[in-house]
Structure 1
Amino acid sequence: MTQQPKSQNQPLHSASFVKPIIVGAGIALLVISFFVFGVDEPHPEWGKFWIVRPLLITPLAGAIGGAFYAFLNYQSSRGFNKIGAILLSLVVYFIGLWLGIVLGLDGTMWN
């Protein structure tokens, strides 16, 4: 009885990618909600539905940052440095979150 070598191609579980994406989007939604829902009297030139843009763009940026974390986590299981992957993904997430906030609030609160 010989033992079969383990395959180098590990199965890709979609659930392991979905959780960081949802967490990244949720954190971004909480951050942008702090800014958006704190406005008591919006300027009339912002428009009636000014709140929709930041509440869509910023969580999307957070979800992309979460997807980047999931990708680097997958790469770290294949031999990439685990600590380096976590640090790089945190840097990319915070830069992406900042850019999402700027893009979401452009023309309204970020003027």
Structure 2
Amino acid sequence: MTQRTNLTTPSIHPDSVEKRMVQGAGIALILIALFLLPVREPDPAWGKLWMIKPLLIVPVAGAIGGIIYHLLDHLRYQGGWKKALAYLLSLIGYIIAVWMGTVLGLAGTLWD
């Protein structure tokens, strides 16, 4: 009789990808809300519900930035310069994702 062992590899990710996505989307939602709330008299050509588009697209982009952060966890755990590189790439990826989401969300309204 052979003895069977459970051969599983422990995960290097301390947090789930869903948690990172929610964190990224939450930060992006706060940023776009701070940008949109001061608008008191929007252009009537934008329509009545013009805020919905950016309030949906920008958090999705932020969630993508959270995925980027999660995918670079393996570099963060190697330490040294790789850890610093992982944080730098995560920050750059998040900024680019949120920037692109902001451009797409505000196209036709505040982004003219």
Question: TM (normalized to structure 1)?
Answer: 0.82
**Equivalent residue, structure 1, for 2:75:** 76
**Equivalent residue, structure 2, for 1:34:** 34
Give 1:10 shift.
2.6
> Aligned partners of 1:16, 1:64: CA distance in 2, in Å?
14
* Structure 2 unaligned residues grouped into runs of 5+: 1-6
Paired residues in the alignment total 104
Question: Matched residues, percent identical?
Answer: 47
- The reply to whether residue 19 of structure 1 matches residue 11 of structure 2 is no
How has the CA–CA distance of structure 1 residues 30 and 78 changed in structure 2, closer, same or farther, with 3 Å as cutoff?
closer
Question: TM (normalized to structure 2)?
Answer: 0.81
> Mapping of 1:1-111 within 5 angstroms?
9-11=9-11, 15-73=15-73, 75-76=74-75, 79=78, 81-111=82-112
SS in 2 for 1:30: helix
* Structure 1 unaligned residues grouped into runs of 5+: 1-6
> Aligned partners of 1:91, 1:16: CA distance in 2, in Å?
21
The root-mean-square deviation of aligned C-alpha atoms, in Å, is 2.3
> Aligned partners of 1:34, 1:78: CA distance in 2, in Å?
34
